[in-house]
Structure 1
């Protein structure tokens, strides 16, 4: 099963703005890893995987639209993953919404990573990026995120957003 929409078929008003997302126990969003096919489509995204990524993107976009404190987050796809650009003020607690972000991410069945984009080959930036990503992970846990959380540093490509990113992996947690 790639995903279930059963929790979206609720009757009556939603109790909170995040109710649009399935709960992990009731209807987790599952983005299965698909082995490469041995034909002309090697390297191409599989249709089921692409559909699941699109579904996750739509759910997250709807949740961001419904929760006023999360509207400053920018959402886009990065291959089979979904990327959230988070304003620095949110990580520092200078803006409301960190608890809402923690609640949103906690409802997914996907691996969540905090990534610090850096300039390739800059060892000082590498160390600083790991420290910043670690602080953001601690802030997210303090705000209520209760699952495993990875932190990474990676070179930023041209046109990459500045600041820390949250990457919601196409892989499920624990896979």
Structure 2
């Protein structure tokens, strides 16, 4: 249901509804976000003196307004705090002053906002979504221990689909549709 909603990682959901309004608020902890296995991460920390800061927390919220039995609008938001970088006290001989590590990563804070409409107007079944992502990446470490400047994140996505449900007219399931999707990519990928 949408570009940015739906997370099945371990976490907590607080859900409820009031008349025609439904809400969900969630917290999820993602543990497997680094490229090293647990054994490799333990080795890096104990033997090589490279500490990994690899926490990732996701906070999400969704508010759905049921206009009637066939039509609804949904507002969604998500905040993703991701630290996937190794910190080392040891300088690289190739790049003095930079940490010695082969674990690339960054501290990335992003937020995503979205709006989704799904409905049914007679035999016409429209669906439309718009989503925005913003945020920044800091402390970017390359795979050889070098660093990159901080970067902003800004992107958009649009989706639309119109289906015509002809099932009742022809006597068997026929639902042709036409749709589109647009994703901008980052506004400044460099």
> TM-score, normalised on structure 2?
0.27
More strand per residue: 1 or 2? 2
> TM-score, normalised on structure 1?
0.28
More helix per residue: 1 or 2? 1
| Pair member with larger Rg | 2
